[in-house]
A and B are shown apart, each in its own frame.
Chain A
Amino acid sequence: MLTVSNITKEFPSGDGIVKAVSNLSFKVENGTFAAIVGKSGSGKSTVLNMLGTLDAPTSGEIKVDDQVINKLSGSKLTKYRRQKIGFIFQNYQLIPNLTAIENVMLPMEFNGLPKKQRLERATELLLMVGLTEEKHRRRPTRLSGGEQQRVAIARALTNHPRLILADEPTGNLDSKTGKVIIDLLRDLARSQDVTVIAVTHDTAIAKLADVQFTLKDGELEK
């Protein structure tokens, strides 16, 4: 379970300090697909970065399955991120000179998995997210936006994470493909028993989530 307790994030800005997130608290059960919605500048990406250990809160605590993750640092943090968290980005962020399957195999390589197992798992995941085998050896530039996002989702799942964080996962997709991707994430949350947190400004997409949090000026809107 993901537990967020009174987290605050402040950034220095000129002579003063800007509070991007203020006293935020919420809980998400395992196997749940949650959406964080809010307008631009509401602090939703900052929350996602803190949940993904890419940024640390100024105060407060984030726990995943009873482990406080915002106190991790150095190699422990890298290892935690590699093994427990999967990231999905708005622009997919695939490595352009690697094929789809090589992109999916990358986090497993960082985790020290043998090549044969990497290959098997990557093939399995790509098929699971709906990318046909003929496209596994294609580079990202030869895949559509929806296909690239499927590869990114497969990459996020490789090391059996407890938490998948998606930043505007449908931002660059048409509404039809966007819905397909959201359905996929929701199904994955249930089938893999993994917590999926998606940040979006699209309320229609957010409505498809199991749980929805709305942020306004860094605070949770009831």
Chain B
Amino acid sequence: MEVVIRGVRNVFRNATRSLAVVLILTVVICFSLVMLISLRAVNNKVDSVQSSIGTTITISPAGSRGTEGGGEPITTDDIAKIKATPHVSSVITSLADRAVTGTDTNLVSAIDPGTLGQRFNRNRSGSTNSNAPAAPPATLKLPITVTGTSDPSNIQVQGISTVTLTSGKWFDGASSANDAVIGTTLATKNTLVVGSTFTLHDATFTVVGIEDAGNQFANNGVIIPITTLQNITTQAGQVTSVYAVADNLSNLSDVQTALTSSLGTKVDITSQIDQANQALQPLQNIQSISLYSLIGALVAGTVIILLTMVMIVRERRKEVGVLKAIGASNFLISTQFMVESFTMSIIGAVAGTIAGVFLSTPVLNALLNNASASTASTAAGPGGFGGAARGFASRFGGQAASAFNIKSIQANVGWNILGYGLLIALAIALIGTLFPTLLITRVRPADVIRGE
């Protein structure tokens, strides 16, 4: 116990030097903690964003979107290539079609065309004036969306992935039966319940279930097995959307690259990985800054303690010699110097932890703002054509960042931070005192006393 008390008292033998060392350690430990807190907060956010983007890649004919646009359907060969791509765990195929009331089906759309419907359908009604609303035909009815799918449990209707079955059951996606699940508004409009029948492309379908996709447009549709839709529309083997699921989030980017390479430009391949990567870039910059700063601060702290303790041991070399001469062991003397080093480090740890707790949030915010601004300015680039293009990219990046809300990062400061502060201090003190301890063991009392 006395050796501990002596070690603590030795801190105050040269108060000015000890104060300077403690102040430096306070800054080092504060800086280390702030960087550690930032690193953890950013890591958590990166994990959260990456886990939220899912592992699904959407492949659709270039130039088409659902039942809009043009392009060529995806073929059986393309689907085989997709299935053969490494790390693709499953493939869901989908075919989109539109059924016109009276011509293709006896169902009546539940959506009133209204002004927007009239305008969107003006070209179909033969208007040549693109500015003036065309006069709607008296019998204009919006077409009904028909979706054929190989996996109704993972169905996406108009981009909505959460489709809930409100009554009945899903059909078997691999079958070619004339079973259908219809949207709630369409069912209400046509007074259909589970077990009712309707006609589509001259075939009679039985309603096996009723679904709710969350909005009126999506609920104005019919979902049937893809093979059935291919058969009744004479599009055997053709699909308009393929959803390839990667086996792991970390393989998502590789799968997307492989699909782009094998399918070429005739398809559009999209996932949230690009958007997520763009949004995460500022965070990844902060991760690097935090990590290197943390390592730098720890090394600096260790070197400071090391040099200070070497200086102290050299200064007290004669005292070490005398202590050995009067019977102190190397262990006892080293312990005394270690206690001195630990005391300075712990005082620095307490002050540094308090400062770190208060500074972590402002520093993290500053890092976020700085990293975001730096990314935006790099993306904006010069003016002219390039500038315009990059400006668009930058806006798109901004959208990506805001979509994942990357600036909403909390610097969580818990009791464990106190533990980390103490651990950092102890590690610095321990490593920084190892070499000086070696110097102590090498002091020979006879040399020191003879050197008087």
Contacts and interface: CB of A to CB of B under 8 A. Distances in A.
Contacts of B322: 87, 89, 93, 95
B328 A45 contact: no
Residue among B2, B327, B445, B450 with max Cβ neighbours from chain A (10 Å): B327
B446 A54 contact: yes
Contacts of A169: none
A107 B6 CA distance: 14
Interface stretch (A23-31, A74-82, A129-137): A74-82
Contacts of B2: 109, 115
Q: How large is the interface on B (under 10, 10 to 19, 20 to 34, 35 or more residues)?
A: 20 to 34
A63 B445 CA distance: 21
A52 B325 contact: yes
Contacts of B325: 52, 54, 81, 87
B332 A90 contact: no
B121 interface: no
Residue among B9, B326, B450 with max Cβ neighbours from chain A (10 Å): B326
A83 B444 CA distance: 19
Nearest to A105: B2
A167 B452 CA distance: 11
Given A52-B325, A78-B327, A110 B332 contact: yes
B326 A106 contact: yes
B232 interface: no
B10 A97 contact: yes
A49 B452 contact: no
A87 B326 contact: yes
Contacts of B76: none
B449 A54 contact: yes
B329 interface: yes
Interface string A149-188: 0000001000100000001000000000000000000000
A52 B327 CA distance: 11
A45 B445 CA distance: 13
B442 interface: no
Interface string A27-57: 0000000000000000001000100101100
A78 B326 contact: no
B4 to A, nearest CB: 12
B319 to A, nearest CB: 6
A167 B10 contact: no
B418 to A, nearest CB: 31
A49 B449 contact: yes
B13 A167 contact: no
A45 B324 CA distance: 17
A111 interface: yes
Contact of A110 (B10, B326, B446): B326
Interface string B308-345: 00000000001100111111110010000000000000
B327 A111 contact: yes
Given A54-B444, A54-B445, A95 B329 contact: no
A105 to B, nearest CB: 8
B318 A93 contact: yes
Contacts of A97: 9-10, 12-13
A75 B324 CA distance: 11
Contact of A82 (B326, B445, B446): B326
A81 B329 CA distance: 11
A49 B326 contact: no
A167 B332 contact: no
Contacts, number: 63
Contacts of A75: 329
Interface residues of A, number: 29
Interface in B261-281: none
A155 B326 contact: yes
A91 interface: yes
Interface in B1-57: 2-3, 6, 9-10, 12-13
A94 to B, nearest CB: 8
A95 B324 CA distance: 13
Nearest to B332: A110
A68 to B, nearest CB: 19
Contacts of A109: 2-3
A106 B445 CA distance: 17
A159 B450 contact: no
A55 B446 contact: yes
A96 B326 CA distance: 15
Nearest to A165: B325
A107 B2 CA distance: 12
A38 to B, nearest CB: 15
B271 to A, nearest CB: 69
Nearest to A168: B452
A178 to B, nearest CB: 18
Contacts of A45: 449-450
A78 B327 CA distance: 6
B327 A110 contact: yes
Nearest to B2: A109
Nearest to B325: A87
Interface string B428-452: 0000000000000000111001101
Contact of A49 (B13, B324, B328, B450): B450
A98 B450 CA distance: 24
A107 B327 contact: yes
Contacts of B9: 97
Contacts of A93: 318-319, 322, 449
Nearest to A111: B327
29 contacts: A45-B450, A49-B446, A54-B325, A54-B445, A54-B446, A75-B329, A78-B324, A78-B328, A79-B327, A81-B325, A81-B327, A87-B322, A90-B452, A91-B452, A93-B319, A93-B449, A95-B319, A95-B322, A97-B9, A97-B10, A97-B12, A106-B328, A109-B3, A110-B327, A110-B328, A110-B332, A111-B327, A115-B2, A167-B449
